Amino acid sequence: MTTSPTPRKTTAKKTAAPAKKTPVAAKKVAARKVAPAKAAAPVATPVAEKPKHKLVRDSFTIPKSEYQVLEALKLRAAALKRPTKKSELLRAGIAALNAMADKALLAALNSVPSLKTGRPKADDGAAKD
């Protein structure tokens, strides 16, 4: 038994040359082509995208007593069921200072003694081991 080849669909080719399009007409045609594609494929985007912030790494000197206050604040936050990192505490403090009025900011700055810049010298006991 012989099988006959399956008939193929033929399409008529356009023989007329397309008319030259002006830039405005080309934009309209492009807009028509793009619009249905956007409507046909909805894109799922997050509702609230967080902007990515560039991070800066820095180091500073802090008195031991104030460092202990940071540790106490970390424990206090943990007791409030909000574990916190030192950097988060510092950033929260900066936000609180930024929200202060000028007079309150000056009072807070005047209550903190200024420190000598640079790294602290090694303890004499640790250096003589």
The pLDDT of residue 58 is 85
**Mean per-residue pLDDT over the chain, rounded:** 77
For the chain, which residues make up each domain, given as ranges?
A: 64-110
d(Cα 86, Cα 91) in Å, to the nearest integer? 9
For the stretch 27-76, pLDDT in tens is: 555 555 555 555 555 566 656 777 888 989 888 888 899 999 999 999 99
Average pLDDT over residues 69-84: 96
The pLDDT of residue 129 is 45
